[in-house]
Structure 1
Amino acid sequence: MQQAAAEMCTPAVCDSSDLLLGFVNTGPLGGSPDRLTGPEDLAAWLARTGLAGGTATGAVVTGADAVAARELRDAFVAIFRAHSGCEDGEAALPAAEDYLERIAPRYPLTPRLSADGVRLVPAQDGVLGGFGALFAAAADLAARGGWARLKMCKDPSCHTGFFDKTRNSSGLYCSTACSTRMAARAYRSRTKNAAVEGR
């Protein structure tokens, strides 16, 4: 199983999944605060990920950009929750897919060809290029068969985004700790129900 996981997470796949997961995990997860509340937060995230591009040459990150980032993040979260089989993700999926289809033309991508192959890169820089890089990462993962492996942890006290490295893409939790916590919770629930039924 470890070999299959290693093969699944090639450097290119890991780069794309790390970018997308880093983005969705800026949300208020497990009681942590939202890390994209304003333009300063978004500018800092773009700089940390190396997507600042034109922001260093005078592009300004605005409050509207931060709102757009949160809306884009919410759409990705809905899709990743649907990948995990979460009911709320399934319910939110049509709206998320419609939203992404509507906004995708704002962030055009350009094919970059080399001897190693072709990859999509943002046609713009600055904030728009940063958002475009997220679409490029999604396209890369889809082409490599890794898109459905991006999920949100089903532990309600966590909900962290993760890349499912299991052989059959059956992972539901981001870590052993979350899996153990949920197994213990399910056991306590079964024990309680059995005690009630035995009365």
Structure 2
Amino acid sequence: MPGTETYACPPSVCDSSELILGFVNTRPTGNGQPELLDDRTGLADWLTRAGRADAAPTATYADAIAAQELRAAFVTILRSHAGCVDDDAAVPDAETYLQRIAERYPLTPRVSAEGCTLVASQSGVPGAFGSLFAAVADLAARGGWSRVKVCKNSSCHSGFFDKTRNTSGLYCSAACGSQASMRAYRSRLRTA
């Protein structure tokens, strides 16, 4: 039907974005979600949900802290995709961190008749973190990286994949967009 088209998401882009979003959405948010990577058990749970159950038994508290730092850098980048980064230095700092830390999680090309994908070269927790970088590389190669964003609604900040035609989506749902609009409207009323 005309007017009902949505952004076509090739399966691997969706798989890649789901991995990144599943990782990003483990942080505490304004909607009451607690920190899900606060200890070894939390990280092991995420690893299992992300299909890396092989890494779950070896996860340590130090790995959980490393995961939180990695997640914070990704969140900063995704916030910049939605245009909601307040600190001008935050994005370059996050980019520098990600470039430096990516060296710890090398990727290997896997060539097949269908094409080439990058996969983590290591197993365990380092392999799981490497798979996040492989997902980013896949999204970037397919033009979907800028569509992975963090909701601009201050009471949400959940990660989402922007399926709008022109990549202008700022909210993870219509409800979040409505809340933000209502908040802005009330703010204008108070100042008037």
Aligned to 2:5: 3
Aligned to 1:45: 46
Aligned-partner residue type, residue 187 of structure 1? Y
- How far off its partner does 1:2 sit? 4.1
**Alpha-carbon distance in 2 for matches of 1:187, 1:179:** 12
Aligned to 1:22: 22
- Structure 1: gaps (5+ residues): 195-199
Aligned-partner residue type, residue 20 of structure 1? I
Within the alignment, does 1:127 sit opposite 2:125 as a pair?
Answer: yes
Deviations 1:130-169 (A, max 9, x none): 0000000000000000101111111100000011111111
Aligned-partner residue type, residue 183 of structure 1? S
* TM-score of the two chains, using structure 1 as the length reference: 0.90
Aligned to 1:197: none
Amino-acid identity (%): 61
- How far off its partner does 1:60 sit? 1.8
Aligned-partner residue type, residue 49 of structure 1? A
- How far off its partner does 1:51 sit? 1.5
- Contact kept, 8 Å, 1:53 with 1:129, in 2: the verdict is no
- How far off its partner does 1:191 sit? 2.7
- How far off its partner does 1:61 sit? 1.1
- How far off its partner does 1:89 sit? 6.2
- How far off its partner does 1:177 sit? 0.3
Pair 131,105 (structure 1): closer, same or farther in 2 beyond 3 Å: same
Pair 155,89 (structure 1): closer, same or farther in 2 beyond 3 Å: farther
- Structure 2: gaps (5+ residues): none
- How far off its partner does 1:93 sit? 0.7
- How far off its partner does 1:109 sit? 0.6
**Which runs of structure 2 are paired with 1:1-199 in the superposition (5 Å)?**
2-5=4-7, 7=8, 9-30=9-30, 31-55=32-56, 60-88=58-86, 90-194=88-192
Larger radius of gyration: 1
- How far off its partner does 1:43 sit? 1.0
- Contact kept, 8 Å, 1:82 with 1:89, in 2: the verdict is no
Aligned residues: 189
- The CA RMSD measured in Å over matched residues stands at 1.4
- How far off its partner does 1:74 sit? 0.2
**Alpha-carbon distance in 2 for matches of 1:87, 1:171:** 16
**Alpha-carbon distance in 1 for matches of 2:84, 2:64:** 27
Pair 143,172 (structure 1): closer, same or farther in 2 beyond 3 Å: same
Deviations 1:173-197 (A, max 9, x none): 0000000111112222223333xxx
Choose between structure 1 and 2: higher helix proportion: 1
- Contact kept, 8 Å, 2:13 with 2:139, in 1: the verdict is yes
- How far off its partner does 1:29 sit? 1.1
